[in-house]
Structure 1
Amino acid sequence: SRKKKRETKAKEYDIRLRELSDSLKRDNIRITGVPEDEREKGAESLCEQIIVENFPNLGKDTDIKIQEAQRTPIRFNKNQPSTRHIIVKFTKYSGKKRIMKAAREEGSLTYKGRQIRFAADLCTETWQARKERQDIFNVLNQKNMQPRILYPARVSFKIGGEIKSFPRQKLKKFMTTKPALHETLRVTL
């Protein structure tokens, strides 16, 4: 019993730490796929150029200001060149929100003819939790249940005309009350 309480507390602390880390990164965007040969330019001017190139309407917007930008360190083989991500911190959350919305609407983003991608900058644990829910998302999507993965890693979908939202453990409990849903997700959970 004491060991179980300690494990429960440890899980709660991990969740709080992840939420704190994500809230610190709230104003950040991660840009992937930008070529390494652009090192002579500062990361900030590079990001401004990417924004102007992909979102001409937002490039002139005074509300969208970059506070700082930096490249991530090389993580894999230091001898083999690989593209590093760029982390961009905006002065306001609204600036990040508008850029992300424009990126979703645009779909395919490029910089100097190369495909790039914008993503929210979240901690590794949150990305891992989202990745674990991807197979659930795919099954629900095939059944046309309009699934979504919400922050930080909750699964939301439409069932019986209403939208339900669950973390993984509560989804398992809810499945026991819905035999059809249980049969649909039996393999993935």
Structure 2
Amino acid sequence: MKNFYELKVAGLTRKLPLIKLNDDLTIASFVLLGDAELTHCAAEQLAKKIDFDFDYLVTMESKGIPLAQELCHFLQKPRYVVLRKSIKDYMKEPISISVSAITTSTPQELVLDGSDAQLLKGKKVVIIDDVISSGGSVAAAEKLLHKAEANVVARVAILAEGQAAKRTDIKFLEELPLF
């Protein structure tokens, strides 16, 4: 067996290292952070799939941040919102929810600053992520945004991993298999 998976996405090719998470599951490790070329090209392609009206992009810390930044450029949106992994001292009346994801061994927290919650209240938002796999992060983000009274109109990612590729409620560029 090869020790990498060759991914073709947005006109680019990347060799992703295979990482064994446990005896039954190996993943191809897709790390968007630092890959400016891939972030730019993927955002350009994803922007074409967001051909509907919305107010804000929302992403989760941290891998979705550069993608949201680039998508704002292509979609001509001046601002996006980041759901943080912990409460920060600067936050006013933050709201939070716990989340579990395939690549994290312990539960984490998603936090929305109260001022961002006010900004999103009653608005149409698109959740952005690099990879949707089990869907835990996106589901938690959606619950948190529901608490803020935002209306999630779409869920968008570069890759849909494993069974996520069969979902009809997400938009993505390519499938990423599980091994």
Higher helix share: 1
State if a TM-score over 0.5 links the two structures: no
In the superposition, the TM-score normalised over structure 1's length comes to 0.25
Structure with more of its chain in strand, by fraction: 2
Give TM-score, length-normalised by structure 2.
0.26
Bigger-Rg structure (1/2): 1
